[in-house]
Copies of this chain bind each other. A is one copy, B any other.
Amino acid sequence: MQVRPLQDRVLVKRLEEETKTAGGIIIPDNHTEKPVQGEIVSVGPGYRKEDGSFRELDVKAGDKVLFGKYAGTDVKVEGVDYLIMKEDDILGVLQ
């Protein structure tokens, strides 16, 4: 089963970040407010223009992206966790 995002949304697979201190202590989740990274799995058709056509997104499947910790909505498809967010929630692309 696949997810086709609508409009200007993208489906993102979160890339785990280490949240351990140097000494190896795991910091609980609510103390690490920094943005996270992910890889785009699929993208929507783009922004709807007034005439009904779409303007394509600036990101594409495979892009590694930075976004805010609370961006998007968690979705689970066939037991796998993803995020669906608007392209505007993406801060930048890692190259």
A45 to B59, CA, bound (A): 13
Count of chain copies: 7
Query: A93, B9: Cβ atoms under 8 Å?
Result: no
Determine which of B34, B58, B74 lies in contact with A74 in the assembled complex, contact meaning CB atoms within 8 Å.
Answer: B34
Interface size range of chain A in the complex: 35 or more
The reply to whether the CB of A3 lies closer than 8 angstroms to some CB of chain B is: yes
Q: Mark A74-95, 1 if CB is under 8 A from B, else 0.
A: 1111000000100110111111
A1 to B64, CA, bound (A): 11
A6 to B4, CA, bound (A): 22
A59 to B6, CA, bound (A): 9
Further 16 A-B residue pairs, CB within 8 A, beyond A3-B94, A9-B92? A2-B95, A3-B92, A4-B93, A4-B94, A4-B95, A6-B92, A11-B92, A34-B75, A34-B76, A35-B74, A48-B55, A49-B50, A52-B55, A66-B75, A66-B77, A73-B91
